[in-house]
Structure 1
Amino acid sequence: MKEQFEIQVLICGAGAAGLAMAIELARRGIPFRLIEKADQPFNGSRGKGLQPRTQEIFEDMGILDRIVAMGGVYPTERRYRDDGSFTDTVSVEQNDPTPAEPHQSPLMVPQWLTEQVMRERLLELGHRAEFGCELAGFEQDAEGVSVQLGSKADEETLRVRWLVGADGGRSFIRHALGVGFPGKTLGIRAVVADVLVTGLSRDRWHRFGDGDMLRQIFLCPLAGTELFQIQAPIGLDADIDLDAQALTTLVAQRTGRGDIHIHSVSWASAYTMNARLADQYRVGRAFLIGDAAHVHPPTGGQGLNTSVQDAYNLGWKLAAVINGASTALLDSYEQERRPVAEAMLGLSTKLLDAHQRGDMRRGREVHQLDIGYPDSTLALEQPERTGGPSAGDRAPDAPMRGAAGKPQRLFDLFQGAHWTLLGYGAERSTVRPRPGLHIHVIGPGGDLQDDQGHFRDAYQPALGDWVLVRPDGYIGAFVSAGEGEALKSYLARVGLHPVELEDLT
C-alpha cells in the first residue's frame, strides 16, 4: 500500500528562497510546512536590489505593486574626491519599459521589507512560517523523509515526502547530505550596516575613497525607510565594533568629515566574501535552493534574485510530481538552475573586481532577463527555429486585445499556477483541453487579437505555430502546425493529460 503523507514538503529556512517556495506550493494547494531556526524574521537590508526578472516573478505572485510601494529606484551616485569636490554619476541603468519587457530597471527594496511582503502574501494563502523551529536530523528512503524537529517548547518527529533546504550558506541540510561546496574565499572582508544618519542628503548614494580598498566607504539611503546602508571593506583580521560610536568613527576616518553622525544601528554584520557552488542540488528526496546551493559576493545584486528564481523553478515541478507527473520532471531542476548559479558567481566576482577599481556601472548583464534553459530536457522545438525566442527562453510579454475588445497582456494570461498554450492562427480543436492548461488562439476567430503586432514582433511565429509557456514563464515548447503529436507527447510528459468535455458533464 502506498504511503500517505499529511505534509508533502518540509521547507527549512524562511528567508526569500524559502518564502518563495512556500508561496509557490501554497497557491497550488500542496500541504507543506515552512520552518525557520531563528526566533524572528531577518531584519537587515543585505539583499536590497530586485532585478527586472524577479519583478516579473513577483508580478506573477501578486505582490509586485506592494513591493514597488515599499521601495524605490536607485539614487544617483555622488563620488567624492579627497578635496571635498564630487561628481554625480548614474551607475544603475534606469530604462523605459518595452512591450516585451515591461520591467526594465532594478528596484531598491531592503531585504527585510521584501520578505515582509512575502510573508503577508503567504498568510493570505493560509500559511505562515514557524520561527524558532529547527531541523535536528533527517533520514530518507524510497518513499519519503523522516525528520526530527526541535523548538524551545517541544521535539517532534515528522514524515514528509520531500525536503527543501533553504537554510543558507552554512546549510545543515547540505552538510548532512554530504554535498561538496567548492569555491574560494575572495580575500575581502566587509562591514554592512543599517543605520540612522545625519549629515548626508537622502537623494544621493554617497561614495568615498573609490578604488582604495583601505579607504572605501559607501552610504546608501535605503528606499522605503529612514535608514542608510553602510558598506565598507575592512582588514581580514580587523577587530571592529559595530555600535553607533564605532561606526561614526569609521565614517569620519574614511570620509575626512566630522559632520556625519550615526545615531543608531538597527542591523550590522562583518562578513568575509566567498564564491561557492554546491556540487549537487538534489540528493534523493532532498533539494537545495538559494544560499544553501550558492554563495557569492554581493556585487551586482544577484543573490536574493537567484535564490527566488531557484524556488520559482522547483516549486511548480514539485507540485506537478505530487499531483501525478513523472518524478523525472525533478531532474530538470539542477540541470536548469545550477548553470545559472555558476554563471552568476562568475559575474558577481567580475563585478567585484571592477568595484575595487571604482567602476560601479551596472547594465543589462545584471537584469537576469536573458537567463534561459535552451539545453534543458524540457525544451522542445520542432522544427528548429532560426529567429525569435527559442524553447527554453523567457516568454516575452505582449499587449494584445481580447475578442470582446478589452486590452490583454500576455503576462496577465500567464499569471497563476497553470501552463499556457498560444496558437498563432491555429485551430483550437487541434489540442484537447486538459486540467492545468489554458489555451488561447491568436488571430481571426481566436480569443486574442494581435492588433498592434506586439506578439508577432516578440515571438516571430509562423502561421499555425503553437507556443507552450511553462508555469514559471519560460517557453517549454515551440512547434509548428504539423507537429501536433510531439506537442501532445510533451504535455503528457509534464503531467497534462486530456479530458473530454463530455467527461465534465
Structure 2
Amino acid sequence: MSAQRDASILDVIVVGAGPTGLLLAGDLAAAGVRAVVLDRAAEPVQAPKGNGVVGRAALELRRRKLLRGTGLRVVRPPRFRFGPLTLELGLLRSPLHVLPVPQHRLERLLAERAVRLGATILRGHEVTGLEQDGDGVTVQAAADGSPVNLRARYLAGCDGARSFVRKHLGIGFPGVTSADISRLARVTIPPGAVTRVGDRIELRGIGQLAAFRPNRTGHGSITIAPADALDRSAPNDVYIVSTHEPRADSEPTDELGDDELRASLRRVLGADLPYTTAYAARSVVANSRHAERYRQGRIFLAGDAAHIFGAGGSAINAGLLDAVALGKHLAAVLRGEAPDTRLDVYRSERRPAVQRTLALTRLQVALEAGDETGEALRDVLEELVRDRATARRIATLMEG
C-alpha cells in the first residue's frame, strides 16, 4: 500500500448498491482499498428484476468464489435466445456461459462479499451534491433528514439509468427511445389452466405459446416463461409474462395496475390470460443510450449510469464487466503501482466493448419490429443462424 495516502479520507466512494457498485466495492476491498457504498434506498430491493448473468461476467463471479455453497452454477446452454430467434449452439462446448440467478439474490451475495472483505455499505443515504478538486471528491448526502459529508480520492457513479452523478456532471447521454412499451409481471396461473408441453405452454382458452421467446400476434407480442426454470425457489404455478406493443400515449411506471396489465394481455392475445394474481408488475420503454464520457476528473461512470440497452439481458453483464475493469485500475493507482493516467485505460477498454453490445441489442430490437423491415430481418437471419457456426459466432460476441 502507498505510504503517502491520507488516512483522513476514503479511497473510493461508490454511489449505488446495485450489482455493478457492489462488485466494484468488493473488488476494491479485496485489494486493500477503503471503499464506501452509498445507496438512497433504506433496504435492498426485493422486486424481481434480472434473472441471470450471461457471458464472461458469469465467469468473473465464479472466479471470485461467489457461488460456493449457494447451489448456483455457471452452465453452457445448448441453445439461447437472440431477440425472437433461437441460437442452436450444440450440446458440447457451447461458447456461451450463463449463471441463472435472480437479481435480488445476486445483490445479496455481492453485498455479503463486499462487507466480508472490508467495504462499508450505507443504505438510506441519498447523494445531493458533489464537488471535486485536485486531491479528491467531496460528497454531500442526506440520511434520515440529516446532512452527511464524505470525502474520497475517487468516486464511481453506479447509480443507474437516471444517474444523479452523470446528470450533476453534465455528461450527455445520447441514444434512442423505443416507440413501443413492454408490460411485465409475475402471475399465478392455476394448474388446471396451464400445461407445460416440452418447450411450449398450453393455456386454457388460448392454445399453445412458445416459452422464453416472443409469440407474435397481430397486435404485438407476448413472452411467457415458468419462473422456476430461472429460479428453483419459485413456486411452480408462477409465470413471468411480458407484452410488447405500440406505446401510443402510455408512460412507463414502476407500479402497473392489474386492469392495465389485463387489458394489454387481452389486446395482444385476443383473449384473457387465466391468471389469478399478479405482482411486481411494471411497464418499461426501452432506451438505448451511451454516456459521452466515462470519466470526468476523479469521477467515473459504470453500469446503467454509463450505458443502457434496448434489449434485456445485457445491462447486468456489461455493468459487472465495467466493475471488474474499473476496480482493477483504481486498485493499481491507489496502491501506488501505477500513475493516475492508468485510469484512462478504463474507457479505452470498456467503450468499444459496450459499443458492440449496443449494436447486438439494437439488432435484437430491430428483429422484434412488427413492420416489413423487421419481418425481412427475421426471415434472413433465421435462415443464417440455422448454420451452427453462425449461431456460435453470435454467441461468442454475446459472451463478451
Q: Distance in 2 between matches of 1:363 and 1:233?
A: 28
RMSD: 3.3
Match in the other structure for 1:118: 110
Match in the other structure for 1:59: 62
1:175 to 167, 190, 208: 167
Match in the other structure for 1:318: 330
Going from structure 1 to structure 2, the CA distance change for 1:76 and 1:285 (only over 3 Å counts) comes to closer
- How far does the alpha carbon of each residue in 1:441-480 deviate from its partner, in whole angstroms, 9 at most, with x for none? xxxxxxxxxxxxxxxxxxxxxxxxxxxxxxxxxxxxxxxx
* 1:196 lines up with 2:207 in the alignment: no
Check the 8 A contact 2:78/2:91 in 1, yes or no.
no
Match in the other structure for 2:151: 159
Q: Which amino acid aligns with 2:28?
A: L
1:216 to 217, 221, 231: 221
The Cα of 1:290 is off from its aligned counterpart by: 0.5
1:305 to 317, 334, 353: 317
- How far does the alpha carbon of each residue in 1:132-189 deviate from its partner, in whole angstroms, 9 at most, with x for none? 1111101101100111111125211111110000011111111111111111212222
Q: Distance in 2 between matches of 1:155 and 1:95?
A: 57
Match in the other structure for 1:349: 362
Check the 8 A contact 1:185/1:275 in 2, yes or no.
yes
Q: Distance in 2 between matches of 1:296 and 1:254?
A: 24
Going from structure 1 to structure 2, the CA distance change for 1:363 and 1:77 (only over 3 Å counts) comes to closer
TM-score of the superposed pair, with normalisation by structure 1 = 0.63
Check the 8 A contact 2:72/2:99 in 1, yes or no.
no
Higher-helix-fraction structure = 2
Check the 8 A contact 1:11/1:165 in 2, yes or no.
yes
Match in the other structure for 2:278: 264
Q: Which amino acid aligns with 1:217?
A: I
Match in the other structure for 1:18: 21
1:228 to 226, 239, 251: 239
Q: Distance in 1 between matches of 2:110 and 2:117?
A: 11
The Cα of 1:317 is off from its aligned counterpart by: 0.9
TM-score of the superposed pair, with normalisation by structure 2 = 0.78
The Cα of 1:93 is off from its aligned counterpart by: 4.5
Check the 8 A contact 2:42/2:124 in 1, yes or no.
yes
* 1:91 lines up with 2:86 in the alignment: yes
Q: Distance in 2 between matches of 1:309 and 1:174?
A: 19
The Cα of 1:311 is off from its aligned counterpart by: 0.5
* 1:340 lines up with 2:332 in the alignment: no
- The runs of 5 or more residues in structure 1 that have no matched partner are 79-88, 372-505
SS at match of 2:184: strand
SS at match of 1:270: strand
- Overall identity of the aligned pairs, in %: 29
68-77 or 318-327, which deviates more: 68-77
Check the 8 A contact 1:247/1:262 in 2, yes or no.
no
* 1:142 lines up with 2:145 in the alignment: no
Relative contact order (C-alpha < 8 Å, sep 6+): which is higher? 2
Going from structure 1 to structure 2, the CA distance change for 1:65 and 1:248 (only over 3 Å counts) comes to farther
SS at match of 2:286: strand
Match in the other structure for 1:287: 300
Q: Distance in 2 between matches of 1:230 and 1:52?
A: 24
- Based on CA coordinates, which of the two structures has the bigger radius of gyration? 1
Q: Distance in 2 between matches of 1:311 and 1:22?
A: 9
Going from structure 1 to structure 2, the CA distance change for 1:296 and 1:270 (only over 3 Å counts) comes to same
The Cα of 1:96 is off from its aligned counterpart by: 4.7
* 1:28 lines up with 2:28 in the alignment: no
The Cα of 1:327 is off from its aligned counterpart by: 1.1
SS at match of 1:260: coil
Q: Distance in 2 between matches of 1:155 and 1:120?
A: 27
The Cα of 1:271 is off from its aligned counterpart by: 1.6
Match in the other structure for 2:206: none
* 1:238 lines up with 2:250 in the alignment: yes
Match in the other structure for 2:205: none
Going from structure 1 to structure 2, the CA distance change for 1:184 and 1:248 (only over 3 Å counts) comes to closer
Q: Distance in 1 between matches of 2:314 and 2:61?
A: 16
Q: Distance in 2 between matches of 1:171 and 1:76?
A: 35
- The runs of 5 or more residues in structure 2 that have no matched partner are 202-208, 386-390
Give the number of equivalent residue pairs. Answer: 356
SS at match of 1:64: coil
The Cα of 1:248 is off from its aligned counterpart by: 4.0
Match in the other structure for 2:204: none
The Cα of 1:219 is off from its aligned counterpart by: 1.3
Check the 8 A contact 1:162/1:286 in 2, yes or no.
yes
SS at match of 1:69: coil
Going from structure 1 to structure 2, the CA distance change for 1:185 and 1:248 (only over 3 Å counts) comes to closer
Check the 8 A contact 2:15/2:158 in 1, yes or no.
yes
The Cα of 1:128 is off from its aligned counterpart by: 5.0
